[in-house]
Amino acid sequence: MLNIHEIAAKAGVSIATVSRALNNSGPVREETRQRILQIAHEFDYVPNPIARSLSTQHTDTIGLILPEMVDEFFMDIIRGIDEEAYRTKHYVMVSSFHTQRNIAEMLLEFMSSGRVDGVIIMVPEGQIELTGTLRKSKRPVVLLNPPAGVDSYTWFKINNRQGAFAIVDHLLSHGYRRLGMLTGPHRNSDAEERAVGFREAHRLRGLEVEESLVISGDFSARSGYYGFMRLMSLMEKPDAVFAANDMMAVGAYQAARSLNLRIPQDVAVVGFDDIFLSQLLTPRLTTVHVPIVELGSKAVRHLIRMINGEVDTSVPYHEELATGLVIGGSCGCDMSTVTAPF
């Protein structure tokens, strides 16, 4: 197996030219580039990432910090980020935070270690200590689905309010009037925005939200199960339930089955996220499609531009991705007349 010096000798060019050709990082005549690539291919040349990082001051590695990964949503985020990183010849180093390990500590570890060129962080809940750490960061950072108050940093997020409004308005258009909601965790920005959309849909139709029908959850199937049980124990039960994510909708389905309730004949159920599991429920769950993979890939592309100095990092970039409805049978729609949008 050749090294870069031997490839340069065989091609009759300088080491710098070989480096530019192999990394596609500078001007090289196309004929020369093809000759270098052919030699590298013939001798199974594999670049040394450590040597490359020393010469370029880049590790070609992106740090990814996520909340404790408990469901399919986070797997799709990782997939979108990893696919885009692979396409651009970058690696991804993933870590998660929880009650014993906060974001600020992990970000400092990433930055001080020199192992990553930049970091993507999903921050669904308020992290007071995070903003001070971000200000000290010497490497670019992109936030995913951040809470309010971080507009001085670059972020990408889902338009949760719009998605929740659309699916609740869909239920109201069916004639449902007693709508229950299984909310997400307290202080979680996604959950809060979805609750706002739920209330806005009522307000714009001149309807009041029945507060006894709003039950706190934590995005888990377990909380969806018990939240649905509480709703169905009321004297005046809801005729439809909006679960603020699909995992809680899964729990609601389980509870309905244990109560011998039919969906949607006895009670309609809708969700949010459009995870793969939602497609396997019977009837198929009506939910909000969230471009989860696209969210991750967009974050990677912008972070790499920040790392390469292609954008002005002093000017924060913000992008909010739209959602769409996926109509199943759980809302009462006649599935024989519905065409899948995706």
CATH number of the domain bearing residue 11: 1.10.260.40
Question: Which has more confidence, 276 or 47?
Answer: 276
Residues 37 and 67 placed together within one structural domain of the fold? no
Q: Considering the chain, what percentage of its residues have pLDDT values greater than 90?
A: 48
In a domain, 194, yes or no: yes
153 and 266 assigned to the same domain: no
Q: How much is the average pLDDT of 23-27?
A: 69
**Total domain count, the chain:** 3
Of residues 103 and 227, more confidence is placed in 227
Q: What is the CATH number of the domain that holds 136?
A: 3.40.50.2300
In this predicted structure, what is the pLDDT of residue 342?
38
Residue 12 domain boundaries: 4-47
The Cα–Cα gap between 182 and 224 comes to 7
pLDDT (tens digit, 9 = 90+) per residue, 288-303?
999 988 999 999 999 9
State the pLDDT at residue 181: 98
**Residue 78, pLDDT score:** 85
198 and 331 fall within a common domain:
yes
Read off the pLDDT of residues 74-118 as tens digits, 9 standing for 90 and up: 788 888 888 988 888 888 888 776 555 566 666 666 666 567 888
How does pLDDT run across 125-166, given as a tens digit for each residue?
Answer: 655 456 666 666 677 889 998 887 788 889 999 999 999 999
Average pLDDT over residues 281-285: 96
97 with 219, same domain? no
The answer, yes or no, to whether residue 63 has pLDDT greater than 70, is yes
Integer Cα distance of 285 and 288 in angstroms? 10
Domain identity same for 8 and 142: no
Q: How far apart are CA 284 and CA 264, in angstroms?
A: 11
If asked whether residues 182 and 115 sit together in one domain, one would say no
Mean pLDDT of the chain: 85
Tokens in use for 178?
A: 């007693």
Whether residue 341 is predicted with pLDDT greater than 60 in this model: the reply is no
Is residue 229 located within the same domain as residue 332?
A: yes
pLDDT for the residue numbered 46? 64
Range in 26-30, 162-166, 184-188, 258-262 with the lowest mean pLDDT: 26-30
Which amino acid does the sequence have at 161? R
> Which pTM was predicted?
0.76
Alpha-carbon gap, residue 36 to 25, rounded angstroms: 14
**Residue 174 sits in the same domain as residue 119:** no
Query: Is the predicted pLDDT of residue 18 greater than 50, yes or no?
Result: yes
- 341: enclosing H helix or E strand: none
